[in-house]
Amino acid sequence: MTTNRVLAFVALVLAAGAMVVGRPSTTPPGHIDVDRLAAMIAHEDDHVTAVELGTWLRDGKPGLRVIDVRPKADFDEYHLPHAENVPLPSIGKASFRPDETLVLYSDGGAHAAQAWVMLRSLGFTNVYFLRGGLGEWLDDVMTPMLPTDATPAEREAFRKIADLSTYFGGTPGVGPRPPASSTSEKVKAMRRRGC
């Protein structure tokens, strides 16, 4: 048997095996690999920060889709730039491609994190959620604050965040962080500013 015939035979056997097993993944759709997800959560590979997401949006990360899992009324009131509204109840019916990078967000982090688990169970691996939700976006990107007693390293880091903030029409400031207010109040404040 010549080398070509041996190689052809090996390719045919591997291809026939591929047809038998069907999918190039051991995890069937709808199955959750609990150990793997737990390890990802422990390594904090499951989420992105608001600044990371802002950088991806600004730099036009290929295949990025930002998904707002809140109800439509909340989405219409305020949402992140380029975000799409897929309310949580319809997340299983949404059309996502495996090679897309999906970033989910909600008001806090809980609903987006739950949607993350659902999409992972459907076999999507390039999925993240915004850790602190819309509140983190408003705090860290739209109204970042540089403490008055900041170190030079903190000032340098803040300069980049301030650039990012300005890009999205935010208002970086200097001073003590204002008292925490609820997300809905911040949203209303953003709307008053015309964002």
Partner 1 sequence: MTTFALPLVIGVAFGWTLERAGLGSARKLVGQFYLRDLTVFKVMFSALVTAMLGLFWLGRLGVIDLAAVYVPQTFVAPQSLGGVLFGVGFVVSGLCPGTSCVAAATGRLDGVATVAGMFAGVLLTGLALPSIWTFYESTPRGAVTLPDALRLPYGAVVFGVVLAALVGFQIAERLERRA
Q: What does the binding site for partner 1 look like in residue numbers (CB under 8 A)? A: 4, 8, 11-12, 14-26, 62-63, 97-100, 123-126
Where b means 16+ CB within 10 Å and e means fewer, 44-80 reads eebbbbbbebbbbbeeeeeebbbbbbbeeebbeebbb
CB of 4 to partner 1, least distance (A): 8
Q: With respect to partner 1, which residue has the nearer C-beta, 64 or 157? A: 64
The answer to whether 71 and 158 are in contact (CB under 8 A) is no
**DSSP per position, 125-163:** -SEEEETTHHHHIIIIIIS-EE-TT--HHHHHHHHHHHH
Distance CA 178, CA 18 (A): 59
CB of 115 to partner 1, least distance (A): 17
Q: What are phi and psi of 172, to 5 degrees?
A: -65, 140
Residues in Cβ contact with 87 at an 8 Å cutoff, skipping those fewer than 6 apart: 69, 70, 71, 72, 75
The answer to whether 128 and 104 are in contact (CB under 8 A) is yes
Q: With respect to partner 1, which residue has the nearer C-beta, 12 or 38? A: 12
Q: With respect to partner 1, which residue has the nearer C-beta, 97 or 155? A: 97
CB of 10 to partner 1, least distance (A): 9
Q: With respect to partner 1, which residue has the nearer C-beta, 1 or 16? A: 16
Q: With respect to partner 1, which residue has the nearer C-beta, 5 or 93? A: 5
CB of 163 to partner 1, least distance (A): 25
Q: With respect to partner 1, which residue has the nearer C-beta, 25 or 171? A: 25
CB of 88 to partner 1, least distance (A): 22
CB of 156 to partner 1, least distance (A): 24
